[in-house]
Structure 1
Amino acid sequence: MTLGKRALLLIFPVVLAGYLLAALSVHFAEKRSIRALEQAKLSQRLEHVAAVFQNEIQRSKGFLTALLNSNVLRQFVSETDERYRFAAHGVRLQESIKSLSDDPIAFISFSVLNSRMEVEYYFENSWDPFAEIDRPQRELARRLIAGKRLSDLTYLEPTGERPRIVYSVFVDPVTFGRPMPSNKSGALLMQVAVLPDRFLAMQAALKKEYGADIVLQPWPLAVTDTLSASVPLGTQLYATIVVPEAHFEAQMLQQKILLGLGALAMSLLSIWLIVLLIRRFITGPIARLDANVTAVMTREHDEITGTGAVGEIGRLTQNIRELHRQSLESLRLVEQNSWTDTLTGITNRGRFNAAAAGIVDNVLSCGDKCSLLFIDIDNFKFVNDKYGHDVGDDLLKRLAARITECVELISKRRGQQPALIARLSGDEFAVLVRSQTGDGTLREMSSAILALFDGGFEVSGTRYPVTASIGVAICPDDAVTVAELISNADAAMYQAKTGGRNRSARFSRALKDRRTRQSQIQEELRALDPNEQFHLVYMPIVNAYGQVVGCEALLRWQSPVLGNVTPDEFVPIAERSGLFAKIDWWVIDKAMSDCHQLKALFGPETVLAINISSAELHSHAINDHFSECAERHGLEPQSIDIELTETFAVKVSDHLRENIEQLRRKGFRLSIDDFGAGYTSVQQIIDYAADTIKLDRVLVSNLTASHALPVLKAVVALCHAKDMAVVGEGVDTPEKLAMLTAAGCDRFQGYLISKPLALEDLAIWALSRTVRHQEERRSPGSLPRTAGMASAENLRA
């Protein structure tokens, strides 16, 4: 099937379906609109009919009122001489009736009857000079005389006779007014009957148009979904018309046919235009291109000739021509690149895994050994970020070349098989060597690689501050698969980093045990219930006067399986494995639930410090959790101090900064913990959006040991200039306390004051401080402390 036919078969049903769907939508929309329009039209026409009918009623009422107010009728009724009354007054009354009629040929009748049903006068405007009151009107008069009503309006619609509107009134022959009900028997019944010609004509027109007649009935039409209308004509008289549903469906059928034919016609026209355009601009050039490519494949031609097309088809022709020319070269490059690292030119991870698997299988089958050196470049990210990616790439390329050179040189000199050298990722390299343990090969290769970084690594005459950490694992002593070999060598490499970097470490049983314990800790963290195994201890924070102004919540874990697990051990594992979220949330909720007891011990201004993982601040959920917990426990946000490690500022992002600012806008305090333990710079101190800076215990110890009071004063002064309070951590000797006090430190925390205590023990500690203060006040000769000068005894008290 050609492309044109396939396009026709695919496009035509879609276009036809689209037009039909549009026609169907129009039909349903128009159906409701047409029904509503027909309903409004029917109601309007029926109201017009009712207006005409009401006009006829008013005409009959006005006619009778005019006769009652005329002297002619009075004289006719009061005349006692019957012959004279008919001869003289009857003729005058007839003339009056004719003069009151708007249309001289329109039917109108006037009759006067007494209570005995005797017709005292009757006249109708017709061609019959001997006309008499007919039987239906006599029956109406008899009912009225027998009834109690003094006036009546009736529409007489007798079978086979003319329908009339009859207006009847009882008149007192003496006063010519309405008679008293008790005197009705002596009153005259006067009736005016008119023929509603216009009403009848409109009724016939409606019946012809809608196929339904107007029904007059004493009640209105009930509300239905059919096309119908009902209007009042008079007292207890309603005109109703109900149109058969077939009338409306006939209109809709005609619309359906027109819409269907229109959709089909538009579909055929659209398809014709689309096919014409596709053939002209798409399928035609593609067919010519297909013929050219086929000719090249069958070797009828050497090159693909141009199709004369422009745009995408023309560019496609040129691209296919170029692809044909470069196909062999491309295949060669693909094979080369699939096994080679594009940056360094050495073996990549995929090729290394495949080749290493073959080497491992071989040494296992022949009882030989092989060793893996896992090399990681220390501080490479620092160089890459500071000097640029071009320098980083150049460094990696030079390093790969030098590692390859020294490894090949050692292998060749020792007469060993060539080593497998690969770049596994980023700044990680691997060297797989087939050698026996104890022959010195691994030691020599490790030393040679580490020697490349003596005094930094040189690239183009510049030395960069990078070193290497090497982990070594041996097959089959340490692993029997490539995955295990890489994993164990990676663990040994991290052991080398921990040991000080720029060194090598061999995978050992102790390291394996440590990895096993780390896995156990991770599994226990994943399955534990924090309420059962976690608990909090609190470490007081005091000001220069020894007053407790805050407490830092510290997490402790007593595992039934692992025993006591320190935070330094499980916190990094929880952060790496993404399990720290539930720990942070539990700590926040639990610490806030204890906050009221802390305030009861140390005063309502006591601030609760809570440590959280910086990674959690990348989510808006932690903000909502802080607010929800504070509200649930009835705490002001100002009572909560959120502590973050200072290293978060090294990699702060706009999103993280916004989350921190949201917490501060809600009223929460922010502290930078462990200040001086990472890569803090003066610029980062200036940029910190924090309320408090906590000097790390290592920084405090170093500055105290070197007696660098001016440096410490400068750091504190810089923090004070940024409106930040300064807390000295690790205050465990009076010398540290004295130096921090002299430097202007605001608050202090450490074992000299108190170790972390459970809430119950903290209450005992607070009570003992209170007792000690009271004893000091009662002791004779006690001297007051100078403001701002704290002592170890004062802080411990």
Structure 2
Amino acid sequence: MTLGKRAFFLIFPVVLAGYLLAAFSVYFAQGNSVFALERARLSQQLDHLAALFRNEVSQSRSFLYSILEGNAVRLFVSETDETYRDNALALRLQQSIRSLSDDPKMFISFAILNPDMTPGYYFENSEDPFAEIGEPQFALARRLTGGSQLRDWTYLHDQQTRPLIVYSEFIDPVTFSRPLPSAKKNALLVQVAIEPTQFLGMQRILQKEYGAAIDFDAAPPPQPSDELSASVRLAPSLFAMLAVPPSHKSGNKAQLRLLLGLGALAMSLISVGLMIILIRRFITNPISVLDRQVTAVMSGENDGIRESGAAGEIGRLTGNIKQLHDQSQRALKLVQHASWTDTLTGISNRGHFNTLAADIVQQVRNEGGHCSLLFIDIDNFKFVNDKYGHEVGDDLLKTLALRIETAVGEIVTRRALPPVIFARLSGDEFAVLVQSASGDGTIREMCAIILSLFANGFEVRGKDYPVTASIGVAICPTDATNLAELISNADAAMYQAKTNGKNRSSRFSRALQDKRDRIRHIQEELRLVDPDEQFHLVYMPIVDAGGKVTGCEALLRWVSPTLGNVTPDEFVPIAESSGLFTKIDWWVINRAMSEHHRLKQLFGQDTVLAINISSAELHSKSISDYFCACLDRHGLDPRTIEIELTETFAVKLGDQLHRNIEALRERGFRISIDDFGAGYTSVQQIIEYTADTIKLDRALVENLANKESLPALKAMIALCHAQNMSVIGEGVDTHEKLAMLTAAGCDQYQGYLISKPLILSDLSIWALKRTAEIAGRDGDRVLVKDRRRRAGSSSLL
């Protein structure tokens, strides 16, 4: 006999007897009491509905008074400028209305109707930006205008429109108080309408529960004693009534729940003993056997579930659970394989690689031996993705993974090495972990064969793509003693290969480690550095064509007690990338301005001080504020301060950066573009530069300061002059460069031919020597002119 039949024949008679007992109890119970209780419950729910309604009415009244007490309506009504009123004041009034409700989705509307019933203002909190006042609300306004009431609230519940509680009040447009009845025709009608969401929600709940609509009437409806109905007063002339239809069995259901509970209790007391005995013998014992088997499998004591061989549902249930367990085991293996496999290439992913590689590294450390990590990065892969599309990029990665796996596998097979771990770590980065003896040539051969795959481009589907590979190699335990360090060192070696020209391999070396340690030490020292103790400024003079010093460029120098002399080319990029340059820039600005008076004493009051600042600082307005604060602190003329920006940064000026620079120029500071010609600059960008000075980069001067390039140099300087920008030639270290720049029309010069960067004390000595040299040259010129004049006189005689 099946389990269903067994349960039916054993349990049904007992259950039937219990339900019959309960049914008889229902019929002979106090039906009238239950009916009265249901009517009382219905009345209580309607009272709750009325309370929600009155709360919504009070809320609409509160909204209206809150709006009128504010200043927004008064300003809107009294404003004569329609454009200003309909834009600025209307927006302000809209914001005031929105702020009334904590719920941004709550529907609320506000209307101002003129005495002639034309809408003066209307706003509703809805998704319709062109919403207008509804006809029912408009009809209410006309009715109130024709009547004698100065204040009214009404519930509009037309089935065709949104149910609204509308609170209306007439106000005097001058005094904003309630007008006299005689002045009502000149008053404004202000209306606030809200959707009574809580009331409507309760109304829908009651209608759904009782299967009948709630009717609204102006008079209290009669309540038949034999019908389940109730009514409640919402307002003096508004009543709500709910009449439950005879087909609805709400009262009978409640009675049945109560009495069937008592009947079930009596049935349980009588039949529980018999049911427990029967269920335990015929149902629970076979299921208990199955449960013990499943528990043993889950705890690991057994590998599988044995079929019981029993007939019926218990036997089939055992077989199905066994089948489900077997399927789950297979699915688990598939999921595990999927979680360890890169979906694009089919090789191991980063997670699987980390798991396997960590075990091998640990084994190498414990048992000896070597393992090597090849960190492979595809050069120019982003270019292929952007130009040919991601589908081509995906095909390239899949083809590359297959070819690397094949090539490396052949080497491993030929050399009888343990299987390698080959994985895709991220987008275009791959890793190969190889176990081989040190110095046996395996790694060199693998790098060579991988790089050979990119000879003359990488071919995919008959087309070559311009990609190459950079490979970094690190060996455990020589270069690293754990997986994280091994990956990090191989990655550093890969970047070294990129730096050396790409399409090559690079072995991690102590020099790379020293370089990384150096960068880390510089970062640590910069975080702790006291600029007043370790930083100092040197100044490089700038002269005009006559040799007069017109300005000096302030240059930062750092002498660290632990690192020694650190050049700006080394520590400036590290400081900028680490976000540590703000402190340095501000120190340079303040120190340079504090020493500007010494420069003026040496070279004159018009001496210009040029200050280089980090490009990252211009993203913040604080740098311009700090410039102005230092200027006021040291009592300087902003026209003698020149802020230098690199050309590559000036080309990328955005709106905010441009505004910051313009703010500095408006304050009186000069702006110069440094290293001009170091990047790729178009003629249009030269025209758009907002600068006072252009400083030609030393590399550009080196390339153009010759007779063949003199026309191009002249044209470039002439273009700068056309933009009212003076030109300074940097890197002037020979008389030939000076002569060419002078012939091209360059305004000022800077370089080692004139002077190297000097501290203030050495700059003072240089200034004295230069003054003496210029005086001597001027004396020689006078003597030569005098001799020529005398010689001319003699010839005349």
* Alignment TM-score, normalising by the size of structure 2: 0.54
Match of 2:639 in 1: 638
Aligned partner of residue 473 in structure 1, secondary structure: strand
- Shift in alpha-carbon separation, 1:560–1:456, aligned structure 2, 3 A: same
The Cα offsets for residues 450-484 of structure 1, whole Å up to 9 and x where unpaired, read as: 33444555566766655443221111111111110
In structure 2, what residue type is equivalent to 1:730?
G
In structure 2, what residue type is equivalent to 1:595?
H
CA distance in 2 between counterparts of 1:584 and 1:16 reads: 70
In structure 2, what residue type is equivalent to 1:422?
A
Match of 1:530 in 2: 531
The Cα offsets for residues 390-433 of structure 1, whole Å up to 9 and x where unpaired, read as: 76666555554544444344334433334333333444333222
TM-fit CA distance, 1:509: 1.9
TM-fit CA distance, 1:536: 0.8
The Cα offsets for residues 641-663 of structure 1, whole Å up to 9 and x where unpaired, read as: 22233332575544444444444
TM-fit CA distance, 1:687: 5.1
Query: Any unmatched runs of 5+ in structure 2?
Result: 1-45, 67-195, 212-327, 786-797
- Shift in alpha-carbon separation, 1:599–1:476, aligned structure 2, 3 A: same
Match of 1:749 in 2: 750
**Structure-to-structure mapping, 1:212-227, within 5 angstroms:** none
CA distance in 1 between counterparts of 2:210 and 2:686 reads: 70
**Structure-to-structure mapping, 1:69-148, within 5 angstroms:** none
Moved more, 438-447 or 594-603: 594-603
TM-fit CA distance, 1:755: 0.5
Match of 2:626 in 1: 625
Match of 2:356 in 1: 355
Match of 2:113 in 1: none
**Structure-to-structure mapping, 1:185-584, within 5 angstroms:** 271=202, 273-274=204-205, 338-341=339-342, 344-378=345-379, 396=397, 399-455=400-456, 457=458, 466-584=467-585
TM-fit CA distance, 1:555: 0.7
CA distance in 1 between counterparts of 2:332 and 2:712 reads: 65
Aligned partner of residue 752 in structure 1, secondary structure: coil
Aligned partner of residue 526 in structure 2, secondary structure: helix
Kindly indicate whether the alpha-carbon contact (under 8 Å) linking 1:776 and 1:782 is maintained by their aligned counterparts in 2.
no
In structure 1, what residue type is equivalent to 2:736?
E
TM-fit CA distance, 1:502: 3.2
In structure 2, what residue type is equivalent to 1:525?
L
CA distance in 2 between counterparts of 1:277 and 1:706 reads: 97
Match of 2:729 in 1: 728
- Shift in alpha-carbon separation, 1:714–1:502, aligned structure 2, 3 A: farther
Kindly indicate whether the alpha-carbon contact (under 8 Å) linking 2:49 and 2:203 is maintained by their aligned counterparts in 1.
no
Aligned partner of residue 377 in structure 2, secondary structure: strand
CA distance in 1 between counterparts of 2:670 and 2:463 reads: 45
Match of 1:113 in 2: none
Aligned partner of residue 769 in structure 1, secondary structure: helix
Kindly indicate whether the alpha-carbon contact (under 8 Å) linking 2:650 and 2:673 is maintained by their aligned counterparts in 1.
no
TM-fit CA distance, 1:374: 2.2
CA distance in 2 between counterparts of 1:387 and 1:660 reads: 40
* Alignment TM-score, normalising by the size of structure 1: 0.54
- Shift in alpha-carbon separation, 1:355–1:528, aligned structure 2, 3 A: same
TM-fit CA distance, 1:512: 1.7
The Cα offsets for residues 85-111 of structure 1, whole Å up to 9 and x where unpaired, read as: xxxxxxxxxxxxxxxxxxxxxxxxxxx
Match of 1:674 in 2: 675
Kindly indicate whether the alpha-carbon contact (under 8 Å) linking 1:417 and 1:434 is maintained by their aligned counterparts in 2.
yes
CA distance in 1 between counterparts of 2:349 and 2:49 reads: 52
TM-fit CA distance, 1:783: 6.9
Kindly indicate whether the alpha-carbon contact (under 8 Å) linking 1:16 and 1:267 is maintained by their aligned counterparts in 2.
no
In structure 2, what residue type is equivalent to 1:475?
C
CA distance in 2 between counterparts of 1:754 and 1:278 reads: 96
- Shift in alpha-carbon separation, 1:334–1:718, aligned structure 2, 3 A: farther
**Structure-to-structure mapping, 1:580-599, within 5 angstroms:** 580-599=581-600
TM-fit CA distance, 1:567: 1.2
Aligned partner of residue 673 in structure 1, secondary structure: strand
The Cα offsets for residues 187-242 of structure 1, whole Å up to 9 and x where unpaired, read as: xxxxxxxxxxxxxxxxxxxxxxxxxxxxxxxxxxxxxxxxxxxxxxxxxxxxxxxx
Is 1:700 paired with 2:701? yes
Kindly indicate whether the alpha-carbon contact (under 8 Å) linking 1:609 and 1:640 is maintained by their aligned counterparts in 2.
yes
Query: Any unmatched runs of 5+ in structure 1?
Result: 1-11, 33-264, 281-326, 785-797
Kindly indicate whether the alpha-carbon contact (under 8 Å) linking 1:525 and 1:579 is maintained by their aligned counterparts in 2.
yes
Aligned partner of residue 443 in structure 2, secondary structure: helix
Kindly indicate whether the alpha-carbon contact (under 8 Å) linking 2:650 and 2:689 is maintained by their aligned counterparts in 1.
yes
- Shift in alpha-carbon separation, 1:676–1:503, aligned structure 2, 3 A: farther
In structure 1, what residue type is equivalent to 2:448?
S
- Shift in alpha-carbon separation, 1:513–1:546, aligned structure 2, 3 A: same
Q: How many residues align?
A: 495
Aligned partner of residue 779 in structure 1, secondary structure: helix
CA distance in 2 between counterparts of 1:403 and 1:533 reads: 52
CA distance in 2 between counterparts of 1:277 and 1:717 reads: 86
Aligned partner of residue 562 in structure 2, secondary structure: coil
Percent identity of equivalent pairs: 66
The Cα offsets for residues 8-50 of structure 1, whole Å up to 9 and x where unpaired, read as: xxxx9x99999999999999999x9xxxxxxxxxxxxxxxxxx
Match of 1:764 in 2: 765
Is 1:647 paired with 2:651? no
Aligned partner of residue 595 in structure 2, secondary structure: helix
- Shift in alpha-carbon separation, 1:456–1:693, aligned structure 2, 3 A: farther
The Cα offsets for residues 245-267 of structure 1, whole Å up to 9 and x where unpaired, read as: xxxxxxxxxxxxxxxxxxxx997
Structure having the higher Rg: 1
CA distance in 2 between counterparts of 1:279 and 1:620 reads: 67
In structure 1, what residue type is equivalent to 2:584?
I
Kindly indicate whether the alpha-carbon contact (under 8 Å) linking 2:364 and 2:370 is maintained by their aligned counterparts in 1.
yes
TM-fit CA distance, 1:682: 5.5
In structure 1, what residue type is equivalent to 2:641?
I
Kindly indicate whether the alpha-carbon contact (under 8 Å) linking 2:537 and 2:592 is maintained by their aligned counterparts in 1.
yes
CA distance in 1 between counterparts of 2:594 and 2:651 reads: 33
Kindly indicate whether the alpha-carbon contact (under 8 Å) linking 2:52 and 2:199 is maintained by their aligned counterparts in 1.
no
Kindly indicate whether the alpha-carbon contact (under 8 Å) linking 1:649 and 1:684 is maintained by their aligned counterparts in 2.
no
CA distance in 1 between counterparts of 2:643 and 2:750 reads: 16
Match of 1:610 in 2: 611
Kindly indicate whether the alpha-carbon contact (under 8 Å) linking 2:600 and 2:607 is maintained by their aligned counterparts in 1.
yes
In structure 2, what residue type is equivalent to 1:554?
L
- Shift in alpha-carbon separation, 1:357–1:585, aligned structure 2, 3 A: same
CA distance in 2 between counterparts of 1:544 and 1:631 reads: 33
Kindly indicate whether the alpha-carbon contact (under 8 Å) linking 2:470 and 2:503 is maintained by their aligned counterparts in 1.
yes
CA distance in 2 between counterparts of 1:763 and 1:15 reads: 93
TM-fit CA distance, 1:716: 3.7
CA distance in 1 between counterparts of 2:63 and 2:489 reads: 73
TM-fit CA distance, 1:714: 4.6
Aligned partner of residue 741 in structure 1, secondary structure: helix
CA distance in 2 between counterparts of 1:351 and 1:706 reads: 64
